[in-house]
Chain A
Amino acid sequence: MIEFLAALTDPSLPFFRYAVLTGIFASIPFGVIGTYVVVRRISYIAGAISHCILGGVGAGLYLQNALGISWFGPLHGAIVVALLASLILAVVSMYAKQREDSVIGALWSVGMAAGLLFIAKTPGYSDPMSYLFGNILLITRTDFYLVLALDVLVIGIIGFFYNTFLAICFDEEYAQLRGIRTHWLYLLLLCLVALTIVLLVRIVGIVMVIALLTLPAAIAGNFARNILQMMVLSTVFCILFVILGLGTSYSLDLPSGPVIILFAAAAYLLALLGLKAVGRK
């Protein structure tokens, strides 16, 4: 921990400060949106959106480097594809609920396949590993500001629609009867999930983002009495895992993403075992 604090204050290691700060501020959307993903039981949908992102990243790299469209990069591609995937998934849940499973699976792998093909055809070398597994130590000042913007967006929209989102997560059919346009709001929720995933993929990567989205919220769900408490608690848990993970990975010279995820998973296991021992679940 002393090494960790020294690294934080070392002026020659600005990237480490960005990593820690970004991790802390990214915990807000992880906690808030993760709570909805857990209570609405859409972690597979979040998984499909996240894996689709590689398609967008690949397309962005290809357009930029092979076709010379310099203003369109991997981040733009990722946002477009993630929003498109949310739209497809929302429409499927409306009109073909019984096929939802297959569509999730298809989007999941088609996104990956398209991304790898684009990357293969992009001149120069780009390593898909950094997108798949992320690297919080490569976080730039711009990434940090984007995460801050996401915080504002998520808190603003969720603050406004809190009761409405609660109703569609608890009982969508009843919300519809009370005159709520549940389909549009579900689409809005999926779009927020998509944007959260796009920006947070930088930190732990496409493959592991789901763990950081769901594990803190799943732990918090055991203790929270309402959704708001669950959001706050899971944000706190997420901050804890990020700091512990970064500190440990720095001291032991390990990749940060996997260490963060393993801390989260170990805490989840401990929480389950602990509750079992106390006889609460």
Chain B
Amino acid sequence: MNEETAAITIRDLSFAYDDIQILCNVRLDIWRGDSICIVGPNGGGKTTLIKLILGLLSPDRGIIRIFGRSPEEERQRIGYVPQYAKYDPQFPISVLDVVMMGRLAGTLRNRYSPQDRDQAMAALGQTGLADLAARPFASISGGQRQRTLIARALASGGDILILDEPTANIDHESEVRFLDLLKGLNERMTILMVTHEVGFASSFFKRIACVNRQVVVHPTSRLTGQLIQEMYGGDLQMIRHDHRCSEEGHRHD
């Protein structure tokens, strides 16, 4: 892979918290326009890998390059959607004000311009939340909050979108809509998403990265029960989302 096509390049990456080795000799290439889903057991290093890519943690060994430069230099080109569960539900802030944070630019004052506002409203429109802009963030549903955080990432206008377990709190119907949104975004953005629902992954992502101290990448077409068992090291049930049960009984479509 050369500089032109690489979005994220990781070589010989190792990271430990105190004495516990989380990631060991990781090598990973993500090209422009890629859609890659990151799976693995809890504590396997998924979130750590993301924080290293974002430059929120520094590697003990190895290098990470975003468009050929360091994460600190290029991270403003990354739209990041964290897990929404960490937010204080009583924080007094409107949906629009949350999305406006995507327009922060690292100046001291961070005054927003009318263009910043337009960008934020456009991002809310894309995620279908334009009507809720003035509502308190605390008063909307879990799925809507999740979409607000996606709108915030879109408002920043980056080339890479990184999402950390965005489907954890949304129902199946919103999940389908969410998938459509991602498909549209993938036409202009590189997408990385952490999830623990493997069935969900196979329907959209081009590749799947299994993270458990090491990182192994597979094309999603090769995702089988045996492979899943290997990466989780145990019994795991795969949920098929294209499977419906009717009142008469059972059929496969």
Contacts and interface: CB of A to CB of B under 8 A. Distances in A.
Interface residues of B, number: 31
Given A167-B110, A177-B80, A178-B76, A226 B93 contact: yes
B183 interface: no
Contacts of A174: 80, 82, 101, 152
Nearest to B135: A225
A167 B104 contact: yes
Interface in A125-164: 160-161, 163-164
Interface in A36-51: 39, 41
A164 B108 CA distance: 7
A248 B55 CA distance: 56
Interface in A160-207: 160-161, 163-164, 166-167, 169-171, 173-181
A178 B104 contact: yes
A171 B156 CA distance: 15
B109 A163 contact: yes
B156 A178 contact: yes
Nearest to B76: A179
B105 interface: yes
A227 B93 contact: yes
Interface stretch (B24-32, B84-92, B223-231): B84-92
A161 B108 contact: yes
A273 to B, nearest CB: 17
Contact of B105 (A160, A173, A178, A229): A178
Contacts of A181: 106
A171 B56 contact: no
A166 to B, nearest CB: 7
A29 interface: no
B106 A180 contact: yes
A265 interface: no
B109 A170 contact: no
A173 B110 contact: no
B244 interface: no
A181 B94 CA distance: 24
Contacts of B105: 178-179
Interface residues of A, number: 27
A160 B87 contact: no
Contacts of A171: 82, 87, 101
Q: Is the interface of A mostly helix, strand, loop or mixed?
A: helix
B209 interface: no
A173 B100 CA distance: 15
A230 interface: yes
Q: Which of B91, B109, B111, B156 has the most CB of A within 10 A?
A: B91
A221 interface: yes
Contact of A178 (B56, B90, B101): B101
A94 B80 CA distance: 22
A177 B78 contact: yes
B75 interface: yes
A164 B56 contact: no
A39 B91 contact: yes
A130 B236 CA distance: 66
B152 to A, nearest CB: 8
Contacts of B198: none
Given A170-B93, A170-B98, A160 B109 contact: yes
A51 B152 CA distance: 40
B97 interface: yes
B56 A226 contact: no
B131 to A, nearest CB: 17
A224 interface: yes
Interface string B103-139: 0111011111000000000000000000000001000
A178 B75 CA distance: 8
B189 interface: no
B90 A177 contact: no
Interface in A113-133: none
B56 A177 contact: yes
B54 interface: yes
Contacts of B112: 163
Interface of B: 54-56, 75-76, 78, 80, 82, 87-88, 90-94, 97-98, 100-102, 104-106, 108-112, 136, 152, 156
Closest 6 CB pairs of A and B: A179-B106, A178-B104, A163-B110, A224-B92, A164-B110, A167-B101
19 contacts: A163-B109, A164-B108, A164-B110, A170-B87, A170-B93, A171-B87, A174-B80, A174-B82, A174-B101, A174-B152, A177-B75, A178-B102, A178-B156, A181-B106, A221-B92, A226-B94, A226-B97, A227-B92, A227-B93
Given A171-B87, A176-B56, 19 more contacts: A39-B91, A161-B108, A161-B109, A163-B109, A163-B110, A163-B112, A164-B108, A170-B91, A170-B93, A170-B98, A173-B56, A177-B55, A178-B156, A179-B104, A179-B105, A179-B106, A221-B90, A227-B92, A227-B93
